[in-house]
Amino acid sequence: MRLIAWTCTLFYVFVASAQAEVAVKIGYLRQMVERPPVLSNLDPVPDDLGIAGAQVGLADNQTTGGFLGHDYTFEIVDVPVGDDVLAAARDVLSGTRLMIVDAPATDLLRIADLPEAQGAILFNVAAAETVLRDADCRANVLHTLPSDAMRADALMQFLVKKRWTRLAMISGAHEEDTALADTFRASAEKYGLNIAAEKAWNFDADMRRNAAQEVPAFTQDLGDHDVLLVADARDDYGRYIPYNTWLARPVAGTEGIVPAAWSPVVEQWGAAQLQSRFADHAHRAMRPRDYAAWAAMRTLGEAVTRTGAAAPDILRNYILSDAFELAGFKGRAMSFRAWNGQLRQPIPLSTPRALVAQAPLEGFLHQRNELDSLGLDQPESQCAAYGG
């Protein structure tokens, strides 16, 4: 009798602890990068960019996990400039198969191709290059940051809606500026817009002092246009363009009306709550990379909550299934494109003071999901790693 009772107790303890033992460990690998100098000192890049978003998402997950017996832990690994990012990645991957990667595209691909990374889930929160969702996609990489193409398409939808169809563009001389200009050009073409005039920005003067003299002259020969696109990927000179142009025209792109994953001015759809949770935690405004890291963390949280599992293959299957949906404070359920691992999401178009519009705009339809009117669509994607 006593023996039976003892066995029962043991059994009970076993069941109880088994329920409480979904342990989810998430790594955050950050490759520090040298930031090229920019003209203005006004907007320093926060030290906890990205990480703060992941931490807010982690707290959300932990609260939910507390009711379900799911335990979330988090480890941040910084890789200084010049250090071996692959060694650091191997190290993180030896402790967990769930890792948020905050690194440039080339490093992200090298990490994803490590033997140790096969079967893991990596989240890209920092590299917006469209090619990572296209020919260079990887089966173990999910993207919570929207691609450059998604953001460009969001802007073009807005311009079409406004019937601002004649465009002019200024782009910088750096490689990333050229790439962004290419993306704007392709997107304009997709939406039937015409970039009639373009100029390369290659001033080396300090525009803080003479923008009022230089910019009007520089933009004088662009001809007439409805809106001026600025492709300034480094956030260098763009801020000196608005109100200094020869013609009185709105500015859009990386300056003026900006398409981005997130903006501090998003307040509808319950977003005010996320903004205030973030501000309480980080004492600053939430930026796109913070949002991408938050969404990565919440994607894992949602998948663990719904499946009760922490195994990467179970989570990945669920995340890429039709059942998955993430409430991202942008008014629509977000989900992943099962053919390239990109998070479908609305794109806010905002000025520093207000939301101007949010794409997809009304009238831009898609046979499957209106969110797929933004960025690469399945038929044009060269991504083969997802079996499609």
Partner 1 sequence: MKTSLILLNLLLATPVVAEEIWVTNEKDDTISVIDVATLEVTRTIPTGERPRGITFSHDFSRVYICASDSDAVQVMDPNTGEILNDLPSGEDPEQFVLHPDDRHLYIANEDDAVTTVVDVETRQVVAQINVGIEPEGMAVSPDGSTVIATSETTNMAHWINTETNEIFANTLVESRPRHAEFTHDGAALWVSSEIGGTISVFDTQTQAELADITFEVQGVHPDRVQPVGFEFTEDGKTVFVALGPSNHVAVVNAETYEVEDYILVGRRVWHMAFSADKSLLFTTNGVSGDVTVIDVARREAVKSIKVGRFPWGAALRP
> What minimum distance in Å lies between the beta carbon of 316 and partner 1?
20
Name which of residues 332 to 351 contact partner 1 (CB under 8 A). 332-333
Q: Which of 319, 330, 377 is nearest to 357 (CA)?
A: 330
Q: Is 216 in the site for partner 1 (CB under 8 A)?
A: no
Q: Which of residues 33-72 bind partner 1 (CB under 8 A)?
A: 60, 63-64, 66-68
CB of 69 to partner 1, least distance (A): 11
- Out of 277, 285, 309, 386, the residue judged to bind partner 1 by CB under 8 A: 277
Token pair recorded at residue 131: 């090619």
- Distant-in-sequence, close-in-space partners of 366: CB < 8 Å, separation ≥ 6: 360, 372, 373, 377
Least distance to partner 1 from the beta carbon of 348, Å? 16
> Using the rule CB under 8 A, is 331 a contact of partner 1?
yes
Quote the tokens at residue 322.
Answer: 């039709």
From the list 70-78, 111-119, 188-196, 269-277, the region that binds partner 1 by CB under 8 A is 269-277
Sign of CA dihedral 276, 282, 283, 288: negative
Q: 238 vs 301, which CB is nearer to partner 1?
A: 301
CA 249 to the chain's CA centroid: 29
What does DSSP assign to residue 73? E
Would you count residue 276 as binding partner 1 (CB under 8 A)? yes
Binding segment (CB under 8 A) for partner 1, from list 6-14, 44-52, 298-306, 348-356: 298-306
| Interacting residue with partner 1 among 326, 343, 359, 376 (CB under 8 A) | 326
Nearer to partner 1, 209 or 368 (CB): 368
CA distance 145 to 24: 22
199: left (phi over 0), alpha (psi -120 to 50) or beta: beta
Query: Parallel, antiparallel, or unpaired: how do β-strands 98-102 and 121-124 relate?
Result: parallel
- Give CA 7 to chain center in angstroms: 52
Kindly state the smallest distance separating residue 327's Cβ from partner 1, in Å. 4
User: Of the candidates 311, 327, 354, 384, which one interacts with partner 1 according to CB under 8 A?
Assistant: 327
- Cβ–Cβ contacts within 10 Å for residue 367, how many? 7
Q: Select 46 or 331, whichever has its Cβ closest to partner 1.
A: 331
Q: In what order do the strands lie in the sheet with 326-327?
A: 326-327, 333-336, 343-344
Report the C-alpha gap between 329 and 162 in whole angstroms. 25
How far apart, in whole angstroms, are the C-alpha atoms of residue 325 and residue 314?
A: 16
Q: With CB under 8 A, what is the number of residues at the site for partner 1?
A: 21
Kindly tell me which of 194 and 273 has the beta carbon lying closer to partner 1: 273
Question: Which residue, 155 or 371, has its beta carbon nearer to partner 1?
Answer: 371
Binding stretches for partner 1 (CB under 8 A) = 60, 63-64, 66-68, 270, 273, 276-277, 302, 305-306, 325-327, 331-333, 370-371
